[in-house]
Amino acid sequence: MLKGQVAVVTGGSRGIGRAIVRKLAENGADVAILYAGNQKAAEETCTLLQGFSVRCGAYRCDVADFDATKKTVNEILKDFGKIDILVNNAGITRDGSIATMKEQDFDDVIRTNLKGSFHMIRNCCRHFLHQRSGRIINISSVAGLSGNVGQANYSSAKAGLIGLTKTVARELAGRGITCNAIAPGFIDTDMTRGMNEKARDAVVASIPMKRAGKPEDVANLAAFLAGDGAAYITGEVIRVDGGLCI
Ligand code: NDP
């Protein structure tokens, strides 16, 4: 279904990103993974793709650094020849109450989660325009739709990402490029495993489907948005949250 296509997935080494990489590869896409520092996890992800007969490349690149993303996108274009799908998934949390949140924690989350996505879109966009095709998928969050206590920085970044998604969708639609956002709810990854058990149980109890989401629940939608079936969908924000934010 995605045979011959090249996907770039930021934060593709672990969690939701890894599941997206796996699903895209299962559908035939070659994949370039960007990761922050955990080389072992990135290599493991590439190893997981053996058997799918696709290419996988892992690139250490801090998405918050514009020059680094520019260099990496150029490297990927050199290595793979083109880019068809960009998934902006890299993200971090630095939770804290608004009354005590450090400025640095606000800035770090905005720089990685929001600016990082801008950097990648900015650096891939000329190639997409030239190619007259491209799929951009931004991983936002239900926190960007509804807010979340203790996540002023994260909610701001994820809400910003929705604005970015809609603007990019409008600007690039005429050239056959789509841009959509996925808003996951509570997904079982390293990011949420850090929570204490009581808080975790309380969140799960508040989800109508009574379970945490799996990374694959998000990956299935990402693969759909990257495929032919989603050619006429752009500027959309789709929740994958088991009903959490109905
Ligand atoms: P994880 O913490 O499990 O994985 C984060 C990934 O992002 C890793 O691959 C990490 O690389 C990479 N990364 C972090 N910072 C950077 C950076 N500056 N540059 C490049 N790569 C970076 O996160 P999840 O899988 O849980 O989350 C993935 C996305 O989904 C995030 O955007 C998150 O906000 C969003 N999301 C998650 C939810 C959840 O419940 N888990 C809910 C809603 C949204 P490395 O391994 O090298 O550190």
Q: What is the pLDDT of residues 138-152, one digit of tens each?
A: 999 999 999 999 999
Q: Is the pLDDT of residue 112 over 90?
A: yes
Q: DSSP assignment of 35-76, as one string?
A: ESS-HHHHHHHHHHTTTS---EEEEE--TT-HHHHHHHHHHH
**pLDDT by residue (tens digit) across 10-50?**
999 999 999 999 999 999 999 999 999 999 999 999 999 99
pLDDT band at 6 (very low <50, low <70, confident <90, very high): very high
Domains, the chain, ordered by start = 6-240 (3.40.50.720)
Pairing of strands 237-240, 85-88: unpaired
**Using CA atoms, how far apart are residues 30 and 222, in angstroms rounded to an integer?**
15
Q: What is the pLDDT of residues 164-218, one digit of tens each?
A: 999 999 999 999 999 999 999 999 999 999 889 999 999 999 999 999 999 999 9
Q: Average per-residue pLDDT in the chain?
A: 98
Distance CA 110, CA 120 (A): 14
Q: Is 35 a catalytic residue?
A: no
- pLDDT of 194 reads 87
- Length of the chain equals 246
pLDDT reported for residue 138? 99
Could you give the 3-state DSSP secondary structure of residue 221? helix
Is residue 72 within 8 A of residue 122, CB to CB? The reply is no
Q: What number is the average pLDDT over the span 77-83?
A: 98
Return the CA Rg of the chain.
17
Q: Which of 79, 37, 177, 175 is nearest to 121 (CA)?
A: 177
Cβ-defined contacts of 98-102 (< 8 Å, 24+) = 98/152, 101/152, 101/153
How much distance in Å is there from the Cα of 174 to the middle of ligand 1?
A: 31
Question: Taking CB atoms and a 6 Å cutoff, what residues make up the pocket around ligand 1?
Answer: 10-11, 13-17, 34-38, 41, 61-64, 89-92, 112-113, 139, 141, 184, 186-187, 189-192
Ligand 1 atom at shortest distance from the alpha carbon of 90: 7
The pLDDT of residue 98 is above 90: yes
Give the percent of the chain with pLDDT over 90. Answer: 98
